[in-house]
A = this chain, B = another copy of it.
Protein backbone atom coordinates (compact mmCIF):
# COMPACT_ATOMS: atom_id res chain seq x y z
CA UNK A 1 0.00 0.00 0.00
CA UNK A 2 1.39 3.44 -0.95
CA UNK A 3 1.80 6.25 1.63
CA UNK A 4 -0.92 8.20 -0.21
CA UNK A 5 -3.36 5.25 0.07
CA UNK A 6 -2.53 4.82 3.77
CA UNK A 7 -3.13 8.55 4.34
CA UNK A 8 -6.38 8.37 2.40
CA UNK A 9 -7.83 5.42 4.31
CA UNK A 10 -6.81 6.99 7.63
CA UNK A 11 -8.65 10.09 6.40
CA UNK A 12 -11.76 7.93 6.03
CA UNK A 13 -11.29 6.64 9.60
CA UNK A 14 -10.97 10.27 10.79
CA UNK A 15 -14.28 11.09 9.06
CA UNK A 16 -15.87 8.23 11.03
CA UNK A 17 -14.36 9.61 14.27
CA UNK A 18 -15.97 13.00 13.58
CA UNK A 19 -19.39 11.31 13.35
CA UNK A 20 -18.86 10.02 16.90
CA UNK A 21 -17.84 13.49 18.13
CA UNK A 22 -20.97 15.01 16.57
CA UNK A 23 -23.05 12.68 18.77
CA UNK A 24 -21.06 13.49 21.94
CA UNK A 25 -19.21 10.15 21.87
CA UNK A 26 -15.44 9.79 22.26
CA UNK A 27 -14.18 10.50 18.69
CA UNK A 28 -12.66 7.25 17.42
CA UNK A 29 -13.26 5.95 13.90
CA UNK A 30 -12.22 2.97 11.76
CA UNK A 31 -12.50 1.42 8.31
CA UNK A 32 -11.74 -2.11 7.03
CA UNK A 33 -10.16 -2.37 3.57
CA UNK A 34 -9.90 -5.37 1.24
CA UNK A 35 -8.28 -5.21 -2.21
CA UNK A 36 -8.22 -1.41 -2.03
CA UNK A 37 -11.96 -1.12 -1.25
CA UNK A 38 -13.60 -0.16 2.06
CA UNK A 39 -15.78 -3.10 3.16
CA UNK A 40 -16.66 -1.91 6.69
CA UNK A 41 -16.94 1.37 8.62
CA UNK A 42 -17.49 2.14 12.27
CA UNK A 43 -17.31 4.79 14.94
CA UNK A 44 -17.49 4.72 18.70
CA UNK A 45 -21.10 4.59 20.02
CA UNK A 46 -20.63 2.98 23.39
CA UNK A 47 -22.79 5.38 25.43
CA UNK A 48 -25.66 5.64 22.94
CA UNK A 49 -26.21 1.89 22.63
CA UNK A 50 -25.28 0.90 26.22
CA UNK A 51 -22.99 -1.55 24.54
CA UNK A 52 -19.37 -2.10 25.59
CA UNK A 53 -18.53 -3.59 22.17
CA UNK A 54 -19.44 -0.45 20.20
CA UNK A 55 -15.80 0.50 19.66
CA UNK A 56 -15.07 1.90 16.19
CA UNK A 57 -12.87 -0.91 14.88
CA UNK A 58 -15.09 -3.58 16.45
CA UNK A 59 -18.13 -2.31 14.56
CA UNK A 60 -16.13 -1.83 11.33
CA UNK A 61 -14.96 -5.47 11.52
CA UNK A 62 -18.47 -6.79 12.20
CA UNK A 63 -19.75 -4.77 9.22
CA UNK A 64 -16.98 -6.24 7.04
CA UNK A 65 -17.80 -9.77 8.29
CA UNK A 66 -21.47 -9.31 7.40
CA UNK A 67 -20.47 -7.99 3.95
CA UNK A 68 -18.07 -10.90 3.33
CA UNK A 69 -20.42 -13.46 4.96
CA UNK A 70 -17.42 -14.79 6.87
CA UNK A 71 -15.83 -14.18 10.26
CA UNK A 72 -12.45 -14.73 8.60
CA UNK A 73 -11.24 -11.50 6.96
CA UNK A 74 -8.01 -12.90 5.52
CA UNK A 75 -6.02 -10.26 3.62
CA UNK A 76 -7.95 -7.29 5.06
CA UNK A 77 -6.46 -4.12 6.57
CA UNK A 78 -7.89 -2.18 9.50
CA UNK A 79 -7.38 1.61 9.77
CA UNK A 80 -8.28 3.03 13.19
CA UNK A 81 -7.57 6.45 14.66
CA UNK A 82 -6.34 5.15 18.05
CA UNK A 83 -4.43 2.05 19.16
CA UNK A 84 -6.92 -0.83 19.61
CA UNK A 85 -7.80 -1.92 23.16
CA UNK A 86 -7.29 -5.50 24.41
CA UNK A 87 -10.81 -6.58 23.37
CA UNK A 88 -10.46 -5.12 19.86
CA UNK A 89 -6.93 -6.53 19.44
CA UNK A 90 -8.37 -9.95 20.37
CA UNK A 91 -11.07 -9.57 17.72
CA UNK A 92 -8.56 -8.39 15.07
CA UNK A 93 -6.38 -11.44 15.77
CA UNK A 94 -9.32 -13.85 15.62
CA UNK A 95 -10.72 -12.32 12.43
CA UNK A 96 -7.39 -13.11 10.68
CA UNK A 97 -6.87 -9.44 9.72
CA UNK A 98 -3.63 -9.00 7.72
CA UNK A 99 -2.49 -5.60 9.04
CA UNK A 100 -3.53 -2.74 11.29
CA UNK A 101 -2.69 0.94 10.74
CA UNK A 102 -3.42 3.26 13.64
CA UNK A 103 -2.81 6.83 14.72
CA UNK A 104 -2.08 7.78 18.33
CA UNK A 105 -1.13 5.20 20.97
CA UNK A 106 -3.37 4.53 24.00
CA UNK A 107 -0.97 4.28 26.96
CA UNK A 108 -3.71 3.32 29.48
CA UNK A 109 -5.54 0.56 27.61
CA UNK A 110 -3.78 -0.24 24.31
CA UNK A 111 -3.51 -3.94 23.45
CA UNK A 112 -1.06 -3.59 20.55
CA UNK A 113 2.00 -1.78 21.90
CA UNK A 114 1.14 0.02 25.16
CA UNK A 115 -0.12 -2.65 27.60
CA UNK A 116 0.10 -5.87 25.55
CA UNK A 117 1.49 -6.98 22.17
CA UNK A 118 -1.42 -9.24 21.23
CA UNK A 119 -1.10 -8.84 17.44
CA UNK A 120 2.54 -9.94 17.28
CA UNK A 121 2.26 -12.79 19.85
CA UNK A 122 3.90 -15.79 18.14
CA UNK A 123 2.13 -18.22 20.53
CA UNK A 124 -1.23 -17.39 18.94
CA UNK A 125 -2.49 -19.02 15.71
CA UNK A 126 -2.29 -15.82 13.63
CA UNK A 127 -0.13 -12.69 13.68
CA UNK A 128 -1.07 -9.26 12.38
CA UNK A 129 1.34 -6.67 10.91
CA UNK A 130 1.20 -3.40 12.86
CA UNK A 131 1.83 0.14 11.52
CA UNK A 132 1.48 2.71 14.33
CA UNK A 133 1.67 6.50 14.17
CA UNK A 134 -0.32 7.15 10.95
CA UNK A 135 -1.48 10.80 11.10
CA UNK A 136 -0.90 10.41 14.83
CA UNK A 137 -0.94 14.10 15.77
CA UNK A 138 -4.24 14.66 13.98
CA UNK A 139 -5.96 11.59 15.46
CA UNK A 140 -4.58 12.38 18.93
CA UNK A 141 -5.77 15.99 18.65
CA UNK A 142 -9.32 14.80 17.92
CA UNK A 143 -9.35 13.15 21.35
CA UNK A 144 -7.51 15.97 23.14
CA UNK A 145 -9.94 18.63 21.84
CA UNK A 146 -12.91 16.46 22.77
CA UNK A 147 -11.79 15.93 26.37
CA UNK A 148 -10.68 19.58 26.73
CA UNK A 149 -14.17 20.71 25.68
CA UNK A 150 -15.72 18.37 28.28
CA UNK A 151 -13.44 19.73 31.02
CA UNK A 152 -14.24 23.34 30.07
CA UNK A 153 -17.99 22.64 30.08
CA UNK A 154 -17.74 21.04 33.53
CA UNK A 155 -15.70 24.00 34.83
CA UNK A 156 -18.27 26.50 33.54
CA UNK A 157 -21.10 24.49 35.09
CA UNK A 158 -19.23 24.53 38.42
CA UNK A 159 -18.69 28.33 38.26
CA UNK A 160 -22.38 28.81 37.41
CA UNK A 161 -23.40 26.56 40.32
CA UNK A 162 -21.14 28.42 42.76
CA UNK A 163 -22.44 31.81 41.54
CA UNK A 164 -26.00 30.60 42.14
CA UNK A 165 -25.06 29.51 45.67
CA UNK A 166 -23.62 33.00 46.45
CA UNK A 167 -26.69 34.89 45.19
CA UNK A 168 -29.10 32.66 47.17
Contacts and interface: CB of A to CB of B under 8 A. Distances in A.
Interface residues of A, number: 36
A53 B50 contact: no
A139 interface: no
A68 interface: yes
Give the dominant DSSP class at A's interface: loop
A124 B116 contact: no
Interface in A98-123: 108-109, 111, 115-116, 118, 121, 123
B90 A71 contact: no
B118 A123 contact: no
A106 to B, nearest CB: 12
B118 A124 contact: no
A144 B146 CA distance: 50
Contact of A50 (B52, B68, B121): B68
A56 interface: no
A49 to B, nearest CB: 8
Contact of A51 (B46, B62, B115): B62
A109 B94 CA distance: 10
Interface string A129-166: 00000000000000000000000000000000000000
A94 B90 contact: no
A111 B90 CA distance: 9
A28 B94 CA distance: 17
Contact of A52 (B54, B65, B111): B65
A58 interface: yes
